[in-house]
Amino acid sequence: MKFFQSLSDSEMEIMRYVWDCGGAVTTSILLEVFAYKGWKVQTVSTFLTRLADKGALRVEKRGKANVYFPAVTEAEYHELEARHLVDSKYHGSVLDFLAAFYGGKGLSPEEADELKRWFDEEAGR
C-alpha cells in the first residue's frame, strides 16, 4: 500500500477471505462466498475497485475477467493500521497509546512480562 487508508468492515471481510484463501479471487467467487449478504455484482465490483484503489489488492486482466490478488499481507495491513492509529490519534507516541489503552488500570504481571520481553527483543534487533 503506497499510502494508508483504513478499510471498511465490508472491505475487511473481503480481504480476510482473500488472505485466507491465499490465492486469486474473482467477482464470481466472492458473489458465491458472500451470497448470504445479498450482495449484487455491482456491490462486489465496487468493493474490489475500492480495495485496488487503496492498494490492498492488485488486479490482473485474464480474458474478460479481472483476477484479484492481495497486494499486502494481513500482518502488513495490521502494522499499517496500528501505525496510522498511533500517528493520527496519539501524535506518534506509543507510550501515549499504551497509557490510553490501559486507562490507568495497570498491567497484569503476565502482560508486563510479555511487553518487557517484546521491547527487549525489539531493542536487540
Distance CA 64, CA 7 (A): 27
Model pTM greater than 0.85? no
One digit per residue, the tens of pLDDT, for the chain of length 125 reads 555 688 999 999 999 999 999 889 999 999 999 999 999 999 999 999 999 999 999 999 999 899 999 999 999 999 999 999 999 999 998 888 888 877 767 778 898 889 889 889 888 87
Q: What HEC string does the chain produce?
A: CCCCCCCCHHHHHHHHHHHHHCCCECHHHHHHHCHHHCCCHHHHHHHHHHHHHCCCEEEEEECCEEEEEECCCHHHHHHHHHHHHHHHHCCCCHHHHHHHHHCCCCCCHHHHHHHHHHHHHHHCC
Q: Which domains does the chain have, with CATH numbers?
A: 9-70 (1.10.10.10), 74-123 (no CATH)
